[in-house]
Structure 1
Amino acid sequence: MQTAFFVDGYNVFYGLLAGTAYKWLDLPSLLHAIAHENDPRSVAAGIHYFTSPVQPALATRGETSKRAQDTYVRALKARGVSIYWGRHRVDHRRAPRFVSRKVPVSRDDQVDIWHLEEKETDVRLGIAMYRLAAQHYWVEQCRTPVEQIVLVSGDTDMTPALEALREDFPHVRIGVIVPHRKGIERNPPGSLKNAADWMRRHITPEELAANQFPSRVSTRKKPAVKPDYW
């Protein structure tokens, strides 16, 4: 069963990897293992990774964070992952001041903030899933049509895209891998589950530990070396 994966990179990082020692994740290895566990017939037909460049001015480690992201992307590319870039927008906003959870939100008590927003990633990802299904449906000479699309995200904004796939291409199986670590309580994304044929709700620390890149990943140029602080 030819399976294409569509990955929300920021969702994976902040939902699964941030604060862990597993950031140097061998994503292809992990996704192949989960899909094979769900159905041993699954064969990878491409991994599509969507993200936006780190903004050094707002990153914890500044330029070091940007270099770490760039290095990881080079490692992914070396393993055949296709990368798609969105962008960030930073602008001035006013927002209600947070005092404590016991104090309700008040529009009368606002502060100035810098608002960081990722743009275009969700739209690019949703369109890419739909276009792939459409291309394989209409191109009769396609000898290895994609039979399964797997979304790697817990973002319920992706639900309409999955619903459109189910309605227009009912022959395509839909899976969802939610990038949440086991042991951290989160509400399951019910709308995504309802739009999919199967869902993996979490990933264990043992799975993350078992699917790490070697410290040096060979590329066409200089090796991608695991960042020291990762």
Structure 2
Amino acid sequence: MRTHVYIDGYNLYYGCLKRTPYKWLNIHALCCALLPQNDIRAIRYFTAQVSGTPHDPDQPTRQQTYFRALRTLPQVSIHLGHFLTHEVTMPDAADWKNGRYTGRQVMKTEEKGSDVNLATYLLVDAFDDAFDVAVIVSNDSDLKEPISVVRNRFGKTIGILNPQKRVSRALKPYAHFIKQIRPGVLKNSQFPNTMQDAKGQFHKPTRW
């Protein structure tokens, strides 16, 4: 069956990649391993460009190297939102629990656009009859409505590849099938340490 995969990169990273040695992930190999019977026509990867911080100034370089690796995969397209970082006042947790409010100035970073972009492409591709099966790599309950429309209005099969420990109760009723992304399949779906593209040779980031 014609299959499109929609990956929430932020949800995937924080769900099963952070603090693992598997960040150099070949998402096409991952999808093929988990969906061996499917004809995977397209993989849409939704994320945002990070900025360096005083604690990790090389983070953008690692991300761009990963994007370079992803662009060697003909089935994959990258769709970028953005990060918004701003100073906000938030309550101190200990004081809050004790019935007091003490405001603390903190830097808050939010990803903007990825979930909306994913929902948009999911709906447009369904309208264009580009797939028979839509597979969502996310556990974000905000995607419930577009997934429901694609299943019930367009009659498409919905799959979820879950990057987190538990499946969202909001999403579960709309999935025809759910598969867990486990460490073993991540380990077996890595890019080679040294890669080649039209610009030349490049390497897996050393900190990964």
Aligned length: 207
Aligned to 2:17: 17
Aligned to 2:124: 131
Q: Distance in 2 between matches of 1:194 and 1:110?
A: 40
Of residues 204, 208, 216 in structure 1, which corresponds to 2:182? 204
Q: Distance in 1 between matches of 2:120 and 2:136?
A: 12
Q: Distance in 2 between matches of 1:216 and 1:87?
A: 29
- Is the Cα contact below 8 Å between 1:91 and 1:116 reproduced in 2? yes
- Is the Cα contact below 8 Å between 1:96 and 1:105 reproduced in 2? no
Q: Distance in 2 between matches of 1:187 and 1:228?
A: 31
1:173 and 2:173 matched: no
Instruction: Indicate how the Cα distance of structure 1 residues 74 and 66 shifts in structure 2: closer, same or farther if over 3 A, else same.
Output: same
Q: Which moved more, 1:19-28 or 1:105-114?
A: 105-114
Of residues 192, 196, 202 in structure 1, which corresponds to 2:171? 192
Aligned to 1:75: 69
Of residues 166, 188, 201 in structure 2, which corresponds to 1:223? 201
Q: Which is strand-richer, 1 or 2?
A: 2
TM-score norm. by structure 1 comes to 0.85
Measured after TM superposition, the shift of residue 223 of structure 1 is 2.7
- Is the Cα contact below 8 Å between 1:72 and 1:224 reproduced in 2? no
The one-character-per-residue Cα deviations of 1:192-212 (angstroms, maximum 9, x if unpaired) are: 111111111x22221111111
The one-character-per-residue Cα deviations of 1:119-158 (angstroms, maximum 9, x if unpaired) are: 111101001000001012xxxxxxxx41101010011111
- Is the Cα contact below 8 Å between 2:49 and 2:60 reproduced in 1? yes
Aligned to 1:93: 88
Q: What does residue range 33-72 of structure 1 map to in structure 2 within 5 Å? A: 33-36=33-36, 40=37, 42-57=38-53, 60-62=55-57, 64-72=58-66
| 2:138 alignment partner AA | S
Instruction: Indicate how the Cα distance of structure 1 residues 49 and 134 shifts in structure 2: closer, same or farther if over 3 A, else same.
Output: same
User: Percent same amino acid at aligned positions?
Assistant: 30
Runs of 4+ deviating beyond 3 Å: none
Instruction: Indicate how the Cα distance of structure 1 residues 115 and 29 shifts in structure 2: closer, same or farther if over 3 A, else same.
Output: same
Q: Distance in 2 between matches of 1:217 and 1:106?
A: 56
Aligned to 1:84: 79
Q: Distance in 2 between matches of 1:105 and 1:95?
A: 15
Instruction: Indicate how the Cα distance of structure 1 residues 106 and 67 shifts in structure 2: closer, same or farther if over 3 A, else same.
Output: farther
Q: Distance in 1 between matches of 2:94 and 2:64?
A: 37
- Is the Cα contact below 8 Å between 2:92 and 2:101 reproduced in 1? no
**Structure 2: runs of 5 or more not aligned:** none
The one-character-per-residue Cα deviations of 1:60-88 (angstroms, maximum 9, x if unpaired) are: 422x1111110011101111210000001
CA RMSD in angstroms, aligned pairs only: 1.7
1:114 and 2:107 matched: yes
Other structure's SS at 2:197 match: coil
Instruction: Indicate how the Cα distance of structure 1 residues 107 and 199 shifts in structure 2: closer, same or farther if over 3 A, else same.
Output: farther
TM-score norm. by structure 2 comes to 0.93
Q: Distance in 2 between matches of 1:11 and 1:131?
A: 22
Measured after TM superposition, the shift of residue 105 of structure 1 is 7.0
